[in-house]
Chains A and B, each alone.
Chain A
């Protein structure tokens, strides 16, 4: 059906997007790659010199590197787990008949519109603060000692904050998926005496598979580079307990102004992100016939 003519036109139409993204990817990447082989500190201009793989060596042997890698995975995994499970349950609930469904939906989606910096500031000061935060007041009211969330459980607290921001997104996508579910099929199953659990497991869940895949893909893209929430709440600490890869690179290249070291970290992060990307794309490819 597609003629040669339309193929050429199609190529022409897709090219601005492809070229721009290619440029966006290649130009900074090439510069980063180049810097990563230099001894280059912003505070010491004129001292740049070729150092080969030294920057990579220092970055990988940094004791914080593996913690950061692990934290990145925990952060992405934790948030995905909470939002997918929580989102499914919430979507299931919102799909039931109830009074004021529209308003409930408005309440539920609100966190998605909140800037990450604002949400981090608000959670840190108004809720998690062990002296003046709301949770501390509640603990005090019940006669319990205040819990220092950001000191004692920094990564879990950040996972909580980020999950709060992304739960609405997961809920909405899954809700749309529920709404397109074949009601007759469900009723037939109910007639046949299938329990609520098995109806959920055998009919709803397979139907949701694609929606869940989409949630995982989109969220992973954003969660891999979580930064503002960490900067505002814990500065990656205490120690490196809540430092992820993005934050580690930030510390290297912007707090220490070591562009060379930071660039080496950037290159490593890009490689790792691409491994995750390939893995994800495979999964998506199966679930979404593009």
Chain B
């Protein structure tokens, strides 16, 4: 009853409801709706207990919408969010613009030196940290050990693309709904282009030459993309052109994929017996390379918590960020849901913890691939840019997504590989001219 009256009042006296006076500080946290972030929301009791004066409001959005909302907000100084979940693509660009508050005065027990050097480096501009990593990842192969055995396939620890193709062919059993390989096909710079760029890197390709001219017309790109299409058309699931990370995760968990090459963070989910039907039969291997190319994809990604420089609730926001990325939080997740569920890829101490390495068979490979990622030198060729599975320039979101659309169209069979690569070359060239990189 009371609420009905309130609703009516709200409808009549519009804006009057805006601020409810309270002694506590309310901070608004924008976040992405993936597994680890949703898990954090269920851990909030512990935070509220320790900090009763801070109330956290969540805005949980799908990745693309989240990115659009937070970018729009920070660039127009909207001030809607006090903490933002952003990727290591955004952090250096935004940090350089002065949009993010530097995290320079972290308390001693936060132990900033415990952060993995690769992550810390990716989130810093000129040595100043601008965001705290919540979880981090590289990429690797996850495969079904039972299917591999049945098909007589030995993946080894460091397979190359020829081995992968052979294994995919042998594991495919379409009559029983088993597809040899699942890869991302959903368009987006953070979706299919993350994988395809990493794959191209492992073929010795690069996005741009030293004059910022796009390189889709070069042999390494042609080889990489044709092999990608070949793998997916012959051994991939139907509808692959709309499969992203989450769709593939779900397919793998349902036992429909023989192999899946994707983010290391997926390992924690495919081995979760509550959600995965194949939890006991997952093997791991390093991201493949092309024979003769000394490069294994070099994927490096993290989801991070950052604070807009313009927030009026800096202290509360910092308290929250410190808590959410602390060792305590990791311990809390371990206590409540087991060590396997701890957010991976951010702290050295986690990988030195015997409980964790025992519970997570994928731990060693994860830390090794993260440490070996070299975003400064993504390709065996020299590049004018930094970034592993992306190019660290503001224009990349747009270009990457547009190229992703074209590649996804090729996967859906609307054009062939040559047409797709030519279209990608033309549109990248156009955008780079428009942005002034190429005169």
* Residues of A participating in the B interface, judged by any CB pair closer than 8 Å: 41-45, 54, 58, 63, 129-132, 145-146, 148, 150-152, 234-241, 251-252, 254-258, 261
Question: Secondary structure at chain A's binding surface: helix, strand, loop or mixed?
Answer: loop
| B434 and A234 contact, CB distance less than 8 A | no
| A241 and B414 contact, CB distance less than 8 A | yes
| B68 and A254 contact, CB distance less than 8 A | yes
Selected A-B contacts with CB under 8 Å, 8 pairs: A42-B76, A131-B251, A148-B412, A151-B238, A151-B240, A239-B412, A255-B398, A257-B398
| A257 and B241 contact, CB distance less than 8 A | no
| A129 and B239 contact, CB distance less than 8 A | yes
Residue from A42, A238, A240 whose CB has the most chain B CB atoms within 10 Å: A238
Whose C-beta in chain A lies nearest to the C-beta of B237?
A131
Number of residue pairs spanning A and B whose beta carbons lie under 8 angstroms apart: 105
Question: B409 in the interface, Cβ–Cβ < 8 Å?
Answer: yes
Q: Which residues of B contact A130 (CB under 8 A)?
A: 237-239
Once bound together, how far apart are the Cα atoms of A131 and B402, in whole Å? 26
Q: Which residues of B contact A254 (CB under 8 A)?
A: 68, 72
Q: Which residues of B contact A236 (CB under 8 A)?
A: 405
Question: B30 in the interface, Cβ–Cβ < 8 Å?
Answer: no
Once bound together, how far apart are the Cα atoms of A41 and B71, in whole Å? 11
Question: Secondary structure at chain B's binding surface: helix, strand, loop or mixed?
Answer: helix
Once bound together, how far apart are the Cα atoms of A256 and B71, in whole Å? 10
| B72 and A239 contact, CB distance less than 8 A | no
Q: Which residues of A contact B408 (CB under 8 A)?
A: 237-239
* Residues of B participating in the A interface, judged by any CB pair closer than 8 Å: 64, 68, 71-72, 75-76, 93, 97, 177, 186-188, 237-242, 250-251, 256, 394-395, 397-398, 401-402, 405-406, 408-409, 411-415, 423, 426-427, 430, 434
Once bound together, how far apart are the Cα atoms of A44 and B76, in whole Å? 11
Once bound together, how far apart are the Cα atoms of A150 and B68, in whole Å? 24
Whose C-beta in chain B lies nearest to the C-beta of A61?
B430
Also in contact, A43 and B93, with CB within 8 A (given A131-B237, A238-B405, A257-B71): yes
Q: Which residues of A contact B241 (CB under 8 A)?
A: 148, 151, 237-238
| A239 and B414 contact, CB distance less than 8 A | yes
| B97 and A45 contact, CB distance less than 8 A | yes
| A131 and B238 contact, CB distance less than 8 A | yes
| B406 and A239 contact, CB distance less than 8 A | yes
Whose C-beta in chain B lies nearest to the C-beta of A124?
B242
B76 CB to nearest chain A CB (Å): 7
Whose C-beta in chain A lies nearest to the C-beta of B93?
A43
Q: Which residues of B contact A148 (CB under 8 A)?
A: 238-239, 241-242, 412
| B398 and A256 contact, CB distance less than 8 A | yes
Task: Known A-B contacts: A151-B240, A235-B187, A237-B405. Give 10 more (CB < 8 A).
Answer: A42-B75, A131-B256, A148-B242, A151-B241, A151-B412, A238-B405, A239-B405, A240-B409, A251-B401, A258-B398
Q: Which residues of A contact B434 (CB under 8 A)?
A: 54, 58, 261
Once bound together, how far apart are the Cα atoms of A132 and B177, in whole Å? 11
Once bound together, how far apart are the Cα atoms of A187 and B415, in whole Å? 58
A214 CB to nearest chain B CB (Å): 30
Kindly identify which residue among B240, B397, B414 contacts A256, using a CB–CB cutoff of 8 Å.
Answer: B397
Q: Which residues of B contact A58 (CB under 8 A)?
A: 430, 434
Once bound together, how far apart are the Cα atoms of A258 and B395, in whole Å? 9
Kindly identify which residue among B239, B398, B427 contacts A150, using a CB–CB cutoff of 8 Å.
Answer: B239
Q: Which residues of B contact A63 (CB under 8 A)?
A: 423, 426-427
Residue from A43, A44, A236 whose CB has the most chain B CB atoms within 10 Å: A43
Kindly identify which residue among A44, A146, A255, A261 contacts B397, using a CB–CB cutoff of 8 Å.
Answer: A255
A136 CB to nearest chain B CB (Å): 8
| B238 and A255 contact, CB distance less than 8 A | no
| B251 and A255 contact, CB distance less than 8 A | no
Once bound together, how far apart are the Cα atoms of A41 and B393, in whole Å? 13
